[in-house]
Amino acid sequence: MYIKFCRNYLIGEENAKGSDESKEYEEVQRGIRIYRTMSIILFVLTVILAAAVIALCARINIRSTCFKEEIQEKVCDVQLCNELYPAVSSEKKDAGCHRCGQGWLQFENWCFFLSSARESWSRSREQCRKWGADLAVIDNQRVQAFLTGKGNLVYWIGLSRSTGGEWTWINQTMLADSYWAPGANGQNCGCLMGKQLPSRSWNSAPCTHYTAYICQKVV
C-alpha cells in the first residue's frame, strides 16, 4: 500500500510539473505572437511614414522647380522687353531713379512737369507754385531741346511781355536767346510747341487762353 501511495504521488507530481511547463510554454508563445504583431505594425507604420516623406519631398521639389522656371520666365520677359524697347526702358529707369517725384522729369539739376491739363497762363503759374515750382525758364539750348523733344502739346512757359513791351522771364531776367517760330511773338505770353524744331518751337498767345504748361523746380 505504501508503494502504491508513493507511485500515485510521483505521478501527480509529474502531472503538476508538466502542467506548469505547458503554461510557461503558452506564455512564451503568447509573448512571441505579441512581439511579432507589434513588429508588423511598426514596420507598416514605418513604410507609410517613409512613403509620406518621399511624396512630400517630391511635391516640394516640383513646386520649387516650377517657381524657378516662373522666375526665369519673368526675367527673360524683362530682358526681351529691354531689348525690344531700349528707349522706353531707359526712360522708365531714369524716371524711377531721381528725386523729382512721380510724373516729373529730371534733366541736369532741374525737375520738369509737363501737364496734360489746360489752364490760363496765370492759373498755370499758380498750380506750379502749389507744387513748390514755377513756370519753366528756358535759359540754354540744352533745356530747350529737352523740353521740345519731351512734349507733344503746346505748353505755357515762364515768359511774358512786360508793360514796357519787353519779353521777361518770371525770375525778372530779360530774354536773351530766343527760339521763336517765324512771326510768333505778337501776343503777351510765351509758350513752347512740342515735337517741333527746337530752334523755332516758341509761340505766343493771349494770356487768358487755356493750354498745357511746364513747371520747373530744383532737384
Quick one: how far is CA 147 from the chain centroid? 29
Domain boundaries, the chain: 105-218
Query: Checking DSSP bridges between strand 154-161 and strand 212-218, what pairing results, if any?
Result: parallel
- What is the per-residue pLDDT for 96? 47
For the entire predicted model, the pTM comes to: 0.57
What's the CA gap between 138 and 168, in Å, rounded? Answer: 11
Q: What's the mean pLDDT when you consider all of the chain? A: 85
- What is the per-residue pLDDT for 120? 98
**pLDDT, tens digit, 9 for 90 and up, residues 171-217:** 999 999 999 999 888 999 999 999 999 999 999 999 999 999 999 99
CB 92 within 8 A of CB 103: no
| Domain 105-218 CATH superfamily | Mannose-Binding Protein A, subunit A (3.10.100.10)
**pLDDT, tens digit, 9 for 90 and up, residues 7-58:** 555 556 666 566 677 777 788 888 888 888 888 998 999 999 999 999 898 8
- The radius of gyration of the chain from alpha carbons, rounded to an integer in Å, stands at 47
Residue 156 gets which letter from DSSP?
E
